[in-house]
Structure 1
């Protein structure tokens, strides 16, 4: 079954998100060949400082009981705390790498998208114009958590700033434009509405969160603050996906990210209103074969229930109620958790 999200037709809804895993020709090919629905290449921008930031990149996988593990022994259920930077390559060379990856993906029905992590909006627009000549879609990331720590990239959390940045890039990009938003903002739905009004074809929800973890032996894991994502973030991500779906309607394509590691996680993103789901950390821990596992799991689930993508995406919202519309729980649920003192 085909999936259509923001003007892109893909074989399945399991996309690969932008990361160091999509920063090289080999990494891009491996994700395409493993069965991704689409692949988002590593982000670039105009800043030399953002590229230098990759020199201090570091990664810590954190188990559910807070054990810190290195990449080689990480598990899929682990959270990821990391520092990162942007691709260390000149734009012309990067466009050549993208063109090769796009050609490889086209032969396998897998769109390869370019990605820009925002620095300066006019510069992003210039990069977008060049990128749109070689890729079938562009992701503008204005939700990078590293923007709270490094001036070379920006995280936008105000409606007017989002609209300005998206409008600038939209004016130069004539392919589908996806705008990735932060999860840490006073009103993510308002940011999504602003991005859509300014010309976004699709909305990515949501970027990872700022994180910090002491190592208890002195200092901090990674020796700094970082960006945090984990399976425990899933309900937080789905909150904004579902609320945005309700507010903007089913005609606004949404791409879910931050929290999906299993087939059930992907399905929960879809049921909440996302038309596609980006995977990154599960690729770090399980390698490219995880993509086929997730895609086949989604297809098997829908086929077993004779469901089309259109019928399933957003289906969980039919049973969701505002607090004011929820019937009283009988007997009161709090009694089950209050213990002897509550009786």
Structure 2
């Protein structure tokens, strides 16, 4: 399949995380069967690299209790505090070059990633990355943007346009732009990114989160970034709305909420052409990719035009006919309060 000028073997991608922060991690994801692998993000800021020294991770069950290490389940949410890759740029480019060569031989592109700090600096990094990887992801929706001064989370269309235009001018390979989910109009951000030269748009980044532990403190002892299967409908809202607004010719990459093959398929049905998965690998390791890829390929076998297929039956509220009887009545009756 071709996505924004990038050839990839399948739509199940590995998103940027600590799992893709080393050569060994990158190669493990490639070898496990990913369609593409996004390397851990970097930027120009030493402070963003130092933030990794205070990283913390909490897997949270349905009862909002934190799991003991090693006891996480695939349906858990992840609240974390993280930073960027700590390698110096030249060393990181060497790692990316080796991983990209390994991936190319297996039909799995390895994509460089930049989390926005300063746009001009991101352009310089992007120009350097263009020489060693087949595509670059620019993350302008970092969920830590409010807490960490060294990264930015853009929520206004003009700011997205300006940042993407600056980086686009320097990057000589396909440029994918990852957007936040917490903004008044994510569709407007996607349109701005596309107008400024993005070859594909990623929807959406994780959300800022906070969870009291009810013992007088807070999980992680701070705020963090939150993603979970419960975020899936929220992510699909923006994927589907962006697909409708920008049309099928704009490639979309889904992220935040996919843990199973069925979740990946829901992203595709909503209009995404590929889906980045991270937390399922945190919990079960890169080997889970084989399950996801097999499940997606088995379901899509013999099916054409599946991407965006759920939108044909989706109506605006104004186009929905009135219910013959109050839809809330059975729920009220079952509650014993009628």
State yes or no: 1:329 paired with 2:323.
yes
- Equivalences, count: 337
State yes or no: 1:307 paired with 2:303.
yes
Query: 1:252-294: CA deviations, max 9, x gaps?
Result: 0000000000111000000000000000000000111111111
Cα deviation for residue 329 of structure 1 reads 2.0
Task: State the secondary structure of the residue aligned to 1:72.
Answer: coil
Counterpart of 2:71? Answer: 73
Cα deviation for residue 331 of structure 1 reads 2.6
Q: Return the match for 2:45 from 44, 47, 59.
A: 47
Q: Distance in 2 between matches of 1:330 and 1:302?
A: 36
Q: Is the CA contact (8 Å cut-off) linking 1:260 and 1:266 kept in structure 2?
A: yes
Q: Distance in 2 between matches of 1:208 and 1:286?
A: 20
State yes or no: 1:320 paired with 2:310.
no
Q: Is the CA contact (8 Å cut-off) linking 1:59 and 1:71 kept in structure 2?
A: no
Q: Distance in 2 between matches of 1:7 and 1:64?
A: 40
Q: Distance in 2 between matches of 1:151 and 1:122?
A: 17
Q: Distance in 2 between matches of 1:211 and 1:70?
A: 20
**Structure 2 portions without partners, runs of 5+:** none
Task: State the secondary structure of the residue aligned to 1:147.
Answer: coil
Cα deviation for residue 67 of structure 1 reads 1.7
Cα deviation for residue 342 of structure 1 reads 7.1
With structure 1 as the length reference, what TM-score do the two structures score?
0.97
Cα deviation for residue 71 of structure 1 reads 4.2
Cα deviation for residue 65 of structure 1 reads 1.4
1:15-94 equivalences in 2 (<5 Å) = 15-94=13-92
Query: 1:146-184: CA deviations, max 9, x gaps?
Result: 001011000000111100100000000011100000000
Counterpart of 1:96? Answer: 94
Task: State the secondary structure of the residue aligned to 1:88.
Answer: coil
Q: Which has the higher helix share?
A: 1
Cα deviation for residue 332 of structure 1 reads 2.2
Q: Is the CA contact (8 Å cut-off) linking 1:4 and 1:275 kept in structure 2?
A: no
Q: Is the CA contact (8 Å cut-off) linking 1:335 and 1:342 kept in structure 2?
A: no
Counterpart of 1:298? Answer: 296
Q: Is the CA contact (8 Å cut-off) linking 1:71 and 1:285 kept in structure 2?
A: no
TM-align CA RMSD:
1.0
Cα deviation for residue 70 of structure 1 reads 3.9
Cα deviation for residue 122 of structure 1 reads 0.3
Counterpart of 2:106? Answer: 108
Counterpart of 1:13? Answer: 11
Counterpart of 1:178? Answer: 176
Evaluate the alpha carbon distance shift between residue 22 and residue 70 of structure 1 in structure 2; reply closer, same or farther with a 3 A threshold. farther
Q: Distance in 1 between matches of 2:68 and 2:77?
A: 12
Q: Return the match for 1:271 from 269, 272, 281.
A: 269
Q: Distance in 1 between matches of 2:14 and 2:110?
A: 9
Q: Distance in 1 between matches of 2:269 and 2:163?
A: 30
With structure 2 as the length reference, what TM-score do the two structures score?
0.98
Cα deviation for residue 4 of structure 1 reads 1.9
